[in-house]
Structure formats: C-alpha cells, structure tokens
C-alpha cells in the first residue's frame, strides 16, 4: 500500500474510533503528499464537520468535488451539511442531483432522494418534496436511519399514517433511536395521543442522557462561562429579569420534568417566575447543554444560540418582554437573509428526478 492510501485508511479508522484529531492529522499528511487528492479533502471535510466547523468542511467537500466530478460521498456530505446548517437549499439540491447521476446502489439512491426531500422542505416547496418522496420504493428499508428520514419527511408533509409507520419501523430496528422517538412523540402529540407522546418523549430523554457529547463540546465549566457571557449580552430589559436568578446548567431535562410535559429537547427552561403583576423576574434558569449544542451545530454558533434560546424563553414566560424578543429576532433574521442573498446563487432549483 502506498503512503497516501495508508494515511487515508488510517484516517477513516481513527474517525470510526472517535479520534478526530488523529484523523485530521492523517488527512493533512495526505494533502502534504498530494494536494490534489480528492479523497484527502473529503476526509478532512468530514472531520471538520464532525468538529463543528461547517464552513471549512464545505470548502474541502467542494474541493473534492472539483477534483473528482463523480465523488458521490462528497456531494451528499456537502448537501447534508448545507441543509443541517440552514444554508442555501438550492445548492444542496444541485449537489444531490449531481450525485444521483452517478448512483446505482438502491439504498444510497434512497438516501440521496430523502436528502433532496429535506432540501425541498427547507426551501418551502412541499409539492416538490411530495413528488420526490413518491420516487421511493413502497417496501420498508432495513436501515433505521432511512426509515427515520422517511418518517420525518412524511410527518412534515402531513401524512401522519405513513410517518408513524416508518418512525416505528426505525425504532424497531434501533430501539434507542432518540431522533425517531422524539419525532414520533411530536406526531402523537399533534394527533391528540398525549399519554403515548409522553412515553416517547421519556424514551427520547433516556436516549439523550446516555448519548456521547459531540466531539467539539466544551467542558461543563467552559459552557457555564458561555452561559454567563450570553446573559451579559442580553439587552438591559431582558437581563433585569434574570437579576438574582439561580442559573443551573445540566445536560438534558430530567425525566420528572419531561413527564410533566416539557419537550426533552428544550434548550432553556425558566421556572419559579414572579406573578404576572410583578416586574418580570425568573426564579431559576435551567440551561441544557446537550440541547443547546444540538441546536448550535458547532462551536462557532454556541454563544449566539445560547443568547437566542434564553431570549426566546424570557419572551415565552413574560408576555411584557415578548415585543423586545420579537424585535431582536426580526433584526437577526433580516441580517441573515441579507448575508445569504449576498453569497448565494439566484438560479432556480433543479427538477424532481
């Protein structure tokens, strides 16, 4: 085996063991040997994505695709990252369509089509998502993630019967599939089956509590520092509601809280609030680290996500503060739209097949 192949194999082996730093080192050694190695750029992109550095990961994925126009894995990984991080769904759709021209394996084709469905939903094109879903075979898959993705897609287009069937199939294949339990809980809640929904949310909480933290997650002490900085960034009217508040940082909501009806994926929770007639004052602020990290998607968004989560909870608990929260939310959304319009393409999205 030549040196390049040896470093690539070692890099992916280290990824499988969770040693992202070692995998990144192997990828960089590959690039030292051959800057034009599409496989090395893909490996480094995958590692940087796992470490929460989405933009750098996308740069390496795009470089890999430039070097090898048939690099399906790089196309799908890039498209998935764009969708997950709220990027331009049109770019994701183009990447998936390019990948579909090369895919022959049926499970991989299904994975690509489901990613395309998700991109259409992010773009707000429900009809295109529905048409793309119809391209999938009727029979169930033996892969839990594919069943979960299909179930979630059906839930988003409002087909609750099919959504429930595929979500339960995913759980049958992987009993501790937290995402499937959580999606099923919301589906059951929307259809008025509250007791069943609570059980699914409790199963989500149990699975989340034992799941490993993301590779990029800060220590508890460092995250507590992030929470303190986030509170300091609140405008005075919102910050005043937290004066003297006990701030508790923990991984996920407790089972007793979820049993009372709290979503197990909630990032922030305020309780012991002052009576409505009093000035807004929170008694306790619970910040759930794993849930904030899941929303942030990487270290670059952790502080901003914490600020937004605390603001949203303050607005939900104290109606007098909601106009301030809405104003700040609108300003952020306007800024983000401006950034996307400045950097994104204006071409129409690709077709459905």
In a domain, 286, yes or no: yes
In a domain, 293, yes or no: yes
pLDDT the model gives residue 133: 94
pLDDT the model gives residue 273: 73
In a domain, 100, yes or no: no
What SS3 state is found at 137?
coil
Q: Is 212 exposed, middle or buried (0-12, 13-18, 19+ CB in 10 A)?
A: exposed
Would you say 264 and 208 are in contact if contact means Cβ atoms under 8 Å apart? yes
Q: What is the rounded distance in angstroms from the CA atom of residue 302 to the CA atom of residue 204?
A: 22
In a domain, 314, yes or no: yes
pLDDT the model gives residue 334: 78
pLDDT the model gives residue 331: 87
pLDDT (tens, 9 = 90+) of the chain, 353 residues, equals: 589 999 999 999 999 998 999 999 999 999 999 999 999 999 999 999 999 899 999 999 999 999 999 999 999 999 999 998 888 999 999 999 999 999 988 889 999 999 999 999 999 999 999 999 999 988 889 999 999 999 999 999 999 999 999 999 999 999 999 999 999 999 999 999 999 999 999 999 999 999 999 989 999 999 999 999 999 999 999 999 999 999 999 999 999 999 999 999 999 999 977 666 578 889 999 999 999 999 999 898 999 999 999 999 999 999 999 999 999 988 888 777 665 555 544 333 444 44
In a domain, 21, yes or no: no
pLDDT the model gives residue 180: 98
Domain coverage including residue 317: 220-336
In a domain, 311, yes or no: yes
pLDDT the model gives residue 277: 58
The total number of structural domains that make up the chain:
1
Would you say 30 and 39 are in contact if contact means Cβ atoms under 8 Å apart? yes
Q: Residue 264: which CATH number?
A: 3.30.2010.20
Would you say 112 and 100 are in contact if contact means Cβ atoms under 8 Å apart? yes
Q: How far is CA 279 from the centre of its chain?
A: 36
Would you say 270 and 257 are in contact if contact means Cβ atoms under 8 Å apart? no
pLDDT the model gives residue 279: 83
In a domain, 278, yes or no: yes
Residues in the chain: 353
In a domain, 279, yes or no: yes
pLDDT the model gives residue 56: 94
- The vertex-127 CA angle with 124 and 129, nearest 5°, equals 75
């Amino acid at each position: 085996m030549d040196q390049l192949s040896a470093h690539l194999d070692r890099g992916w082996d280290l990824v499988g063991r969770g040693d992202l730093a070692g995998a990144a080192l192997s990828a960089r050694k590959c690039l030292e040997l051959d800057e034009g190695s599409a496989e090395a750029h893909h490996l480094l992109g995958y590692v940087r994505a796992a470490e929460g550095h989405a933009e750098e990961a996308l740069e390496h994925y795009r470089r890999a695709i430039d070097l090898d126009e048939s690099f399906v894995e790089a196309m799908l990984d890039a498209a998935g990252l764009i969708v997950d991080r709220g990027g331009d769904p049109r770019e994701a759709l183009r990447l998936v369509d390019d990948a579909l021209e090369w895919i022959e394996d049926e499970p991989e084709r299904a994975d690509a089509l489901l990613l395309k469905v998700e991109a259409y939903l992010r773009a707000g094109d429900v009809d295109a998502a529905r048409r793309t879903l119809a391209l999938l075979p009727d029979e169930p898959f033996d892969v839990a993630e594919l069943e979960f993705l299909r179930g979630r897609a059906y839930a988003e287009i409002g087909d609750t019967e099919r959504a429930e069937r595929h979500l339960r199939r995913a759980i049958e294949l992987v009993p501790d599939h937290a995402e499937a339990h959580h999606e099923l809980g919301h589906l059951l809640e929307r259809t008025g089956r509250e007791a069943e929904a609570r059980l699914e949310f409790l199963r989500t909480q149990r699975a989340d509590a034992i799941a490993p933290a993301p590779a990029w997650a800060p220590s508890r002490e460092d995250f507590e520092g992030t929470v303190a900085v986030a509170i300091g960034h609140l405008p005075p009217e919102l910050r005043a509601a937290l004066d003297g508040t006990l701030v508790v940082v923990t991984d996920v909501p407790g089972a007793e809280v979820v049993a009372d009806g709290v979503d197990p994926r909630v990032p922030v929770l305020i309780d012991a609030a002052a009576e409505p007639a009093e000035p807004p004052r929170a008694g306790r602020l619970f910040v759930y680290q794993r849930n904030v990290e899941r929303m942030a998607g990487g270290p670059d968004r952790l502080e901003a996500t914490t600020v937004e989560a605390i603001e949203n909870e303050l607005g939900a608990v104290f109606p007098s503060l909601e106009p301030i929260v809405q104003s700040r939310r609108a300003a952020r959304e306007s800024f983000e739209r401006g950034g996307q319009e400045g950097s994104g393409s204006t071409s129409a999205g690709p077709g459905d097949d």
